[in-house]
A and B are shown apart, each in its own frame.
Chain A
Amino acid sequence: MSAAPMRNLDLMTPPVVKTIQQRSLIIGLVFGGIAALGAWHQADEFFRAYLMAFMAWLGVTLGSMAILMLRHLTKGAWGMVIRRILGAAMRCVPLMAALFIPLLFGLRRLYIWARPLDAMADNHLREHLQEITKTYLSVNGFVIRAVFYFAIWWGLSFFLTQWSAEQDHPPMRDNSTRFKALSGPGLILYGLTITFAVIDWIMSIDPSWISTIFGLSFLIGQVLSALCFAVVVERILFRYKPMSELLKPEQVHDHGKFMLAFIMVWAYFSFSQWLIIWAGNLPEEITWYMRRLHGGWGYVGLFLVLFHFAVPFVLLISRPFKRDITRLVWLAAWLLLMRYVDLFWVIEPNFSLTFNITWLDVVVPIAMGGLWLAYFFRNLSAMPLVPAYDVFAVEVLEVAHD
């Protein structure tokens, strides 16, 4: 069972990756420059857009890490073929850590608890905040916790990458025991850190509102974003060798099934949260939905129900659709956009009672995305697309039966 020389296939990424990397960087810098102007003139709007863009790209990064760990626990060719795509996305953790720093300059603009409490009109809220800012929601605590989260994410990504890189060179290795030993606890750590991170970064924008499923909703959103992103990248690479030789309809089919499963879980969590809060109808909870269902925001919510769930659900029922990468990719790209709309619908109504979108909400995510993609494609071209000396690489490297 010799794997690497099996088909004399060059497993390095095609040259097009370099081109995309350069273009992404240019887009990132140009839009970044425009966004910087916005930061100067419309700082409030800038930081809101920045937080949304940050959460969107963090979602792809961490979601990739989660899917990668899931693959290490369960195996299967579906994961081997996108393993290095997920790995390259996961290695954007340091970039995301760097991109987190500007947020610290906007804390007072984003979070009510970071502002002076004495001037607050709402007595009830002020009393609650006086209590909670002493113990948990303080600027120091916010920074320390963020450092802690990024340290864990970086640590996981570091080991997963190191062990994977070993499998690019002879001798044949089976690192699966190590990977498994890290991935089980790693998924637990991911689940807990992302939960508490979104409590800090998103939920605390409205410190009087809580929902215990909130962390899980973000978790599934991240995993969905990452899977859709991997499908888009595998489509781009599918035009060239080696991906054109590696990717089989069976694996695309599995990716489609995962997409279906993830949008169903997303809808399940979102619906459950809505139903429970709607039926309870408590003033401290229902206000969150009142804001998001009135003043024009309701149309965004309805749009999400239809195009983040219903239409993709119907499309993904079809077996031929799931197996055809040239068709699936469009839905994947669409869902990436929907992920951003979902973040927009969750975050932006905190700041505006009526529907409100600024040019920064478009420019900032593109700017950040350009930088992120440049970094991602740099990571992607640094390693071969398949770890040829992993004993499980035969799953995709062997010649197909038919």
Chain B
Amino acid sequence: MTQGPVQNERAPVIEPGYTLGSVTDKISSIVLTRPTSNAWFVGFGVAFLLLMMLLFAIAYLFVKGIGIWGVNAPIGWGFAIVNFVWWIGIGHAGTLISAILLLLRQSWRNSINRFAEAMTLFAVASAGIFPLIHVGRPWLAYWLFPYPNTMRVWPQFRSPLVWDVFAVSTYATLSALFWFIGLIPDLATLRDRSEERWKKIIYGMLAMGWRGSARHWHRYETAYLLLAGLATPLVLSVHTVVSFDFAVGIVPGWHTTIFPPYFVAGAIYSGFAMVLMLAIPIRKVYNLEDFITERHLQNAAKVMLATGLIVAYGYVIEAFMGWYGGNRYDAFLLWNRLHGPYSFFYYMLLACNIVIPQVLWIPKLRSSPVWLFLVSGVVLVGMWLERFIIVVVSLHRDFLTSSWGMYYPTRWDWMTYIGTIGLFLSAMFLFVRLLPMISIFEMRTLLPEAEVKE
């Protein structure tokens, strides 16, 4: 889409008064010269402790088996799958920002794409743990891959669970590549600006000999655009496959055709909420308000509003069809959500995902960091609850009354879940400290002096 020449009424993407040099100084100094604050150590310390808790919980799981979790006979997919879907959904915003918005020439993305991609990578890492430890014998997880073997074991290619293995591993690979290739020119900047020799060596190796020649830039641009093109379908396909995991089953609450677009919208919804939850404190702590401006917050809020409404559409149409379709099991599912033992969580879900986020219609709140931070937190809770409702409430009372049951997460479930938040945050803390969290060279292209005269 071509940008119109008239942009006067919008907030700027980068505050005025910066030059090519000062942008570089400002971003690279966070990594190179700024002393590590005590707050960083405290934050990283807490996150690291949570990560240690995750390792402990997983180690104990390997010793004892998944009996330590709350999963049982009707509810075979407990927290592990809830958390997997939640994390993988969060990752989607990063890919949307870095790939789709790049192809749509939305240059405002330049100041948030780097850490959004990092967020994707760490979210996918957190997500990937769950299916692996959920299989019960994780040391045999490689059986999921179709490799030639003498056991006559071959994956069931008609199952979306197998597609998921490919979808998620492709996603992880491509996200890592995309992120790293985008980092190369900035790594070279850090190499050139480091004072200490060991930093020069490390950043130098990571920069892979980047000299910034015209040929380098030409190849870089080609590669980056190509990767963006490859990453774009992944924004849709990964969560579509995740939704197929549920939808091809005939369980009421899972088997519904709206699931693919509804899952994708929900993923982007929660992902942008996470982007805001990270961006708002980061821009405050590192004084980056000039780079991550009100405009970014507003745009992210608008994306949240739009995707949230698609999610709401999903709820409306699902509830309507449950009533209209005349299938007694679908009707019972609706009743069970509204009046069953987990009804509190369903109402919470409606409040968190549909009702509360509507405050984003108010332009004033869309540009208030405090409000956005709070609403984003609410949305993240809501989207977690959505997956909980889909997984647990659908399974706990299915067709046969005699096989009904209840699901109660154990402390190990909680330790694993909170532990992955620790993993995610530890990685984020390290990333913010060791790498340029905003793309230096892409920011420079936003400056007035970088504009090409036609």
Residues of A that sit less than 8 Å from B by CB? 74-78, 128, 131-132, 136, 184, 188, 191-192, 195, 199, 208, 210-216, 250-251, 254, 257, 268-269, 272-273, 275-277, 279-280, 282, 284, 391-392, 394-395, 398, 401-402
Contact = CB atoms under 8 A, between A and B. Distances in A.
Interface string B428-454: 000000000000000000000000001
A273 B255 CA distance: 11
Contacts of B314: 212
A192 B259 contact: no
A212 B326 CA distance: 14
Contact of B313 (A132, A191, A257): A191
Given A212-B318, A279-B248, A392-B6, A284 B327 contact: yes
Given A279-B248, A282-B250, A210 B1 contact: no
Given A254-B2, A282-B250, A192 B313 contact: yes
A216 B258 contact: yes
13 contacts: A131-B326, A132-B326, A211-B257, A212-B258, A212-B314, A213-B260, A213-B261, A268-B260, A272-B261, A276-B256, A282-B250, A392-B6, A395-B5
Contacts of B249: 280
Nearest to B247: A276
Interface in B292-319: 309, 313-314, 316-318
Contacts of B158: 279
A394 B324 contact: no
Interface of B: 1-6, 158, 236, 240, 244, 247-250, 255-261, 309, 313-314, 316-318, 321, 324-327, 361, 454
A234 to B, nearest CB: 16
B261 A216 contact: yes
Interface residues of chain A: helix, strand, loop or mixed (majority)? helix
Contacts of B4: 75-77, 392, 395
Given A250-B2, A276-B244, A188 B261 contact: no
Which of A216, A251, A401 is packed against the most chain B CB atoms within 10 Å?
A: A216
B255 A276 contact: yes
Contacts of B261: 213, 216, 268-269, 272
B96 to A, nearest CB: 14
Which of B2, B244, B259, B261 is packed against the most chain A CB atoms within 10 Å?
A: B2
Nearest to A207: B326
Contacts of A277: 257
A137 to B, nearest CB: 8
Nearest to B259: A276
A191 B306 CA distance: 12
Contacts of B316: 192
Which of B255, B316, B318 is packed against the most chain A CB atoms within 10 Å?
A: B255
B452 to A, nearest CB: 11
A74 B299 CA distance: 12
Given A212-B318, A254-B2, A275-B248, 13 more contacts: A76-B2, A77-B4, A78-B1, A210-B325, A212-B317, A215-B317, A251-B2, A272-B257, A276-B257, A279-B244, A284-B327, A392-B6, A398-B5
Nearest to A396: B4
Contacts of B240: 268, 272
Contacts of A273: 257
Given A254-B1, A395-B6, A268 B236 contact: yes
Q: 5 closest A-B pairs (Cβ-Cβ)?
A: A279-B248, A212-B258, A213-B257, A210-B325, A128-B326
A280 B255 contact: yes
Nearest to A273: B257
A272 B240 CA distance: 9
A268 B316 CA distance: 21
Contacts of B3: 76
Nearest to A128: B326
A132 B2 contact: no
B109 to A, nearest CB: 15
B372 to A, nearest CB: 18
A184 B1 CA distance: 19
A275 B324 CA distance: 22
A74 B5 contact: no
Nearest to A210: B325
A332 to B, nearest CB: 19
B2 A78 contact: yes
Nearest to B159: A279
A184 B362 CA distance: 13
